[in-house]
Chain A
Amino acid sequence: MDVFIQQLINGLSLGSIYALIALGYTMVYGIIRLINFAHGDVYMVGAYVGFWATTQGWGFLPALVLSMVVSAILGVVIERLAYRRLRNSPKIAVLITAIGVSFLLENGGVLALGAKIRTFPNVFPEVQYHFFNGAVVITNRQLVIMVVTTLLMLLLQYVVHKTKTGKAMRAVSHDTQAAMLMGINVDNTISATFAIGSALAAAAGVLVGIYYNAINPYMGIMPGLKAFVAAVVGGIGVIPGAFVGGISLGVIEALVSGYGQSLYRDAVAFALLIIILIVKPSGLFGSNVREKV
């Protein structure tokens, strides 16, 4: 039972990271039907910006904000240069471009920063809180991850449901043509979506840097793919779905490694994906959309 609770806590903090990345996937997919493979690498860039800022002696919050801003700009630039021209091309062309951008960021990162693992500065000296006679441990870093994630989620909900940009985003994702006719600037709305999604991924990157203390240019690949799995599990295009999917994936992974099968951890995520796709392709919260001929 102690192991279970402990892994549940570990899973919640890992899942928060997945959820933050998954939000970007799900928002971008919802609006332009593209799996933005480069999203995981935006998260990597976010972590590096956070790393730079904290080594310059910035505090946690300024570093987080800076990294979110830089990554938001990066996301917008990627969309502008690589995806916008292909908006009416076959899906495969856009998907391949996205894979290309992803590899460009990774290997450009290796070329520019070196492949070696960087140690993240110790922003929060670790404090452990013990429960159940020390059987269950929560660290302050895990708490920071969960609190920041929750705050960002609330902020996102506010932006999407209460602001004009959010309204435009929902309109474009519902029906691009109709939104255009209503005078919504679709290009700007898509840029805003990329900016918000990338900023959330960057936040995840900084949080991971603080949690695991180590970052490298390839760190985005696996979390990126798994966050996509999380988005699909929750129902791609659905914002609460990405959150629930991310948390569940994190918890499942933590339980699998907690019960001694850590080598199979990566396979579990993909197995979950395939099962979901076969059983309920629209995901937990998605609604079935009929294909029109």
Chain B
Amino acid sequence: MTEMLKQYFKLSNILVTVAILVLFAAVNIGIETGFIDDYYKLNLFLICINIILAVSLNIINGMTGQFSIGHAGFMAIGAYGSAIMTLKLGYPFAVGILVGAVAAALCGILVGLPTLRLKGDYLAIATLGFGEIIRVVILNIDYVGGAAGLNGISQYTDWPWIFSLTVITVLVIKNFMTSTHGRACISIRENEIAAETMGIDITRYKVIAFTMGAFFAGVAGALHAHYFYTIQPTTFGFLKSFDILVYVVLGGLGSMTGSVIAATGLTILSAYLQDYAELRMVIYSLLLIVVMLVRPQGLLGTAELSFDGIRRFFSRQTGKGRGAGNDSAVG
């Protein structure tokens, strides 16, 4: 029991919790006092949404090694599902998020099941196709405004909502990754046939990965819809899926902290380049090609950046710590 308590209250966990709370409070005060103006707020919120999207796609692409490039489709389902609940049916925001996310998760199962027979590039194209089908179907439903989109959504997304959901998403996925189930997913990535031989139910874990990824993409979609007042089918096209893919690939397929860092960095970069949309895309695509040619595993590879790792790194540097155990900051 005390061992378990020690596990929960170890220094790194306390440090992370304190850091999260301080960040939350600081930004909250900044927004309340107007120190953080609307422009910075917008980008801060975009960073959070992109982190959720990147981390959720990383479950599918990075952890499980299934190449999905239709993530924006799930986001669209979350956005439209939640907007219908709050705008059309008058339910509170929390219900909206939940319904949007569950709807997206159901779509994840729908996509996951039939595409399980496919591998690699075929799967990529099939998920791309599903993303497009979702977009075209939404485009043709008059109830949600068709091509004009859904307007007049109330702006429920505020800092407490978006920050807590981002933190929850990252924590849940991080813990999932180090759980039995997460490790099963990783084993599928490493070698599907070997994993199957070891008794891992590949089908089940692939569907779980798709469902979880879609669920959190739905959350991101709901937050997106309730921040920007309006949603259109074109927002959730292939370009959006591509953006999310870049975060994941750049950060490192399989690295949650990598996704967080890449999503944050690239959102800031695109804020600076927002007047030059084409240039931004050219830089994105060059970045993608160069990263693949020079460092195909992404910035962090499959490693994670953690307090423990940093401590070990420094203690090794000063020569006091256990040293040899783990030999880098990313551990």
Contact for A274 among B129, B238, B279, CB less than 8 A: B129
Tell me the chain A residues, 49-66 only, with Cβ under 8 Å from chain B: none
A278 and B117: CB pair below 8 A? yes
B286 lies within 8 A of A95 (CB): no
| Closest-CB distance, A272 to chain B (whole angstroms) | 9
Contact of A100 among B61, B120, B289 (CB under 8 A): B289
Known: A263-B140, A264-B136, A281-B118. A107 touches B125 (CB 8 A): no
Q: Which residues A69-100 have CB closer than 8 A to chain B?
A: 82, 85-86, 89-97, 99-100
Chain A: minimal CB distance from B207 (Å) = 15
CB pair B278–A263 under 8 Å, yes or no, is no
The 0/1 profile, CB within 8 Å of B marked 1, for residues 106-120 of chain A is 111011000100000
Q: A103-B242, A277-B122 are in contact. List 18 more A-B contacts (CB 8 A).
A: A91-B121, A96-B288, A99-B242, A100-B288, A101-B285, A104-B286, A110-B281, A225-B125, A225-B132, A263-B136, A264-B140, A266-B136, A267-B132, A267-B133, A270-B129, A270-B132, A274-B130, A277-B118
Closest 7 pairs between A and B when the two form their complex, measured CB to CB: A270-B129, A100-B288, A103-B285, A107-B281, A267-B136, A104-B285, A100-B289
User: Is B245 in the interface zone, CB < 8 Å from A?
Assistant: yes
Residue of B nearest to A114 (CB): B278
Chain A residues engaging chain B, CB cutoff 8 angstroms: 33-35, 82, 85-86, 89-97, 99-104, 106-108, 110-111, 115, 221, 225, 228-229, 232, 263-264, 266-267, 270-271, 273-274, 277-278, 281, 293
Are A273 and B242 within 8 A (Cβ)? no
CB distance from A7 to the nearest CB of B (A): 20
Q: Given A271-B133, A273-B126, A91–B120 Cβ distance below 8 Å?
A: yes
Q: Determine if A90 and B114 form an interchain contact, defined as CB atoms under 8 angstroms apart.
A: no
A91 proximity list for chain B (CB < 8 A): 120-121
Interface residue B253 (Cβ < 8 Å from any Cβ of A): yes
Contact A225 B117 (CB under 8 A): no
Does B11 reach chain A (CB closer than 8 Å)? Answer: no
Structural contact, B285 and A92, CB atoms closer than 8 A: no
Q: Which of B201-238 contact A (CB under 8 A)?
A: 238
Q: Is the CB of A267 within 8 A of B289?
A: no
Chain A residues within an 8 Å CB radius of B122: 232, 277, 281
Q: Give the residue name and chain of the B residue nearest to A261 (CB).
A: B140
Residues 107 to 148 of chain B near chain A (Cβ within 8 Å): 114-115, 117-118, 120-122, 124-126, 128-130, 132-133, 136-137, 139-140
Q: Cβ of B125 and Cβ of A92 under 8 Å apart?
A: no
B26 at the interface (CB under 8 A from A): no
- Once A92-B253, A266-B132, A267-B133 are accepted as A-B contacts, the answer to whether A97 and B117 lie under 8 Å apart by CB is no
B65 contacts across to A, CB distance below 8 A: 92
Binary interface encoding of chain B residues 291-328 relative to chain A, with 1 for a CB under 8 A from any of its CBs, else 0: 01100100000000000000000000000000000000
Show 6 residue pairs from A and B whose CB-CB distance is below 8 angstroms, ordered by the A residue: A92-B253, A95-B121, A103-B242, A104-B285, A277-B122, A281-B118
Question: Which residues of A sit under 8 angstroms from B140, Cβ to Cβ?
Answer: 263-264
Question: What is the interface of chain B, defined by CB distance below 8 A to chain A?
Answer: 61, 65, 67, 69, 114-115, 117-118, 120-122, 124-126, 128-130, 132-133, 136-137, 139-140, 193, 238, 242, 245, 249, 253, 278-279, 281-282, 284-286, 288-289, 292-293, 296
User: Are B296 and A293 within 8 A (Cβ)?
Assistant: no
Main secondary structure of the interface of B (DSSP, over half): helix
Q: Report yes or no: B126 in contact with A267, Cβ–Cβ below 8 A.
A: no
Checking A101, A111, A229, A264 against B289 with a beta-carbon cut-off of 8 angstroms, the contacting residue is A101
Cα–Cα distance between A90 and B254 once the two chains are bound (Å) = 15
> A61 to chain B: closest CB distance in Å?
34
- Would you call B286 and A100 a contact (CB within 8 A)? yes
CB pair B282 A108 closer than 8 Å: yes
**Across-interface contacts of A266 in B (CB, < 8 A):** 132, 136
Chain B residues closer than 8 Å to A86, beta-carbon distance = 292-293, 296
On whether the beta carbons of B282 and A93 are closer than 8 Å, the reply is no
The CA-CA distance from A86 to B293 in the complex, in Å, is 7
> Once the chains bind, are A107 and B278 in contact (CB under 8 Å)?
yes
Could you tell me if A93 and B296 are in contact, using CB atoms closer than 8 angstroms?
A: yes
How many angstroms between the C-alpha atoms of A101 and B288 in the bound complex? 9
For B136, list chain A residues within 8 Å (CB): 263-264, 266-267
For residue B286, which residues in chain A have a CB less than 8 angstroms away from its CB? Answer: 100, 104
CB contacts (< 8 Å) of B137 on chain A: these are 267
Residues of A within 8 Å of B69, CB to CB, are: 99
Output the nearest chain B residue to A269 by Cβ-Cβ distance. B129
Give the distance in Å from the alpha carbon of A93 to the alpha carbon of B296 in the complex: 6
Contacts of A94 in B (CB 8 A): 292
Assuming the A-B contacts A264-B136, A266-B132, are A111 and B293 also in contact, with contact meaning beta carbons closer than 8 angstroms in the complex?
no
